[in-house]
Amino acid sequence: MLHSEQRWTYALFLALCIVQGANAGVPEKAGPCTVPVRNGHPTEQDHGQSFRMISGFVMLPGIRRPVIYSWLRNGAWTIDDHDSFVPFPGEFPSNYIHDSFERDPNTGRIIGVGLKGVFVIEPGEVEFKILIRKGDFNLKSPGPANFIPRMSGFMLLDPSGLYLIDNDLRASQLRLDNMPDLINVGGIADLAELKAVLIGNNGRIYIRTDDGHSTLLATLEKWDFLTNAAVGPSGDTVLVQSYWNAFEIKISRGYDGKIIEPIASGAMRTRPKDKPFDIPPSSTRLQKEKLRNYVSSPIPVRGESILMASDGLHLIRKPRTQDQMSCN
């Protein structure tokens, strides 16, 4: 069994091999090296253990600073342009569990939702700006934003209603007919082919068409919640994934063309051992990641990766030019 120092040495060797392999064909003197992160050593707050400094991270495309969450330190942290480990500036991000990030692939704009409200950051910026503070629009506890291409904006659900943030960053409340009180709001899944979205509300799944009409589709078992959805291959069914279940619902329409509640809208407790289908995750939702073999994925724009070693955090970096060995 490898001792602690041997594991760190092996991790460093493996990380450098991975990066070196990715740069095959580049002259050897342009190979990667490691640079210590300033203030990147574990402190008493980390109990002197560097692995407690990173519990997870989010890489933001177009943004030079990663979002880093610590096991014991409050708030979110980052590595700035001076290679220093510092708190992420501003009011957001702040909480690993509640923070979410959604990106508009056309503009690169990122909407963040957290405990204090809704925030925005543009490509090249270093700090999120407040867009809707908790309390504005009676905003209480919004769920994650979802980018809806046909609306060129972000949709989010809150106990106070359904909202759209348009391309000019203007927020407006959307119609939501036939919907009971919003309690324990869940996620939103876009069904572009039907010009509709699925909405999770208090253990129930509703379909809302773009005209504001909503209909109950299914009732989930206790503690289950909507995670993803897609239109079925036939075009008249909806494939629904929840935390515990995966099922298909037939879409029925009334004489006026509106979607009506299906007969089988009762509780879904299939709990399939092998899910009959797997819907790919949203390409616009930025995922919280974990270190792999003590190494992060590359930081956007900078192209550097974070290495966690026994003495603290380091950056894996290529020399500034192929004619220079220095990484500083």
**pTM > 0.95: yes or no:** no
- Coil/strand/helix, residue 18: helix
What are the residue boundaries of the structural domains of the chain, listed by start?
A: 181-281
Q: Tell me the C-alpha distance between 235 and 44, whole Å.
A: 58
Q: Tell me the C-alpha distance between 231 and 241, whole Å.
A: 12
**What is the mean pLDDT of the segment spanning 128-144?**
93
Place of tokens 């980052």: 78
- Report the percent of the chain where pLDDT is more than 90: 66
- Of residues 98 and 20, more confidence is placed in 98
How many CB atoms within 10 Å of residue 4?
A: 8
pLDDT (0 to 100) of residue 12: 52
- Say whether pLDDT at 5 is over 90: no
pLDDT tens digits, one per residue of 223-259: 888 999 999 998 999 999 988 888 889 998 888 888 8
Among 98-112, 146-160, 168-182, 262-276, the least confident range: 262-276
Which residues make beta-bridge pairs with 306? 315
pLDDT (0 to 100) of residue 22: 42
DSSP state of 8: H
The rounded mean pLDDT for the chain is 87
Amino acid at 41: H
pLDDT (0 to 100) of residue 115: 94
Long-range pairs, 318-322, Cβ under 8 A, ≥24 = 318/19, 318/23, 318/30, 318/31, 318/32, 318/33, 319/29, 319/30, 319/31, 319/33, 321/30, 322/26, 322/27, 322/29, 322/30
pLDDT (0 to 100) of residue 11: 53
Q: Tell me the C-alpha distance between 112 and 92, whole Å.
A: 8
Contact indicator for 229, 239 with CB cutoff of 8 Å: yes
pLDDT (0 to 100) of residue 318: 80
Q: Tell me the C-alpha distance between 110 and 185, whole Å.
A: 22
Q: Tell me the C-alpha distance between 157 and 139, whole Å.
A: 10
pLDDT (0 to 100) of residue 109: 98
Q: Which of 74-78, 243-247, 264-268 has the highest mean pLDDT?
A: 74-78
**What is the mean pLDDT of the segment spanning 204-219?**
93
pLDDT (0 to 100) of residue 20: 46
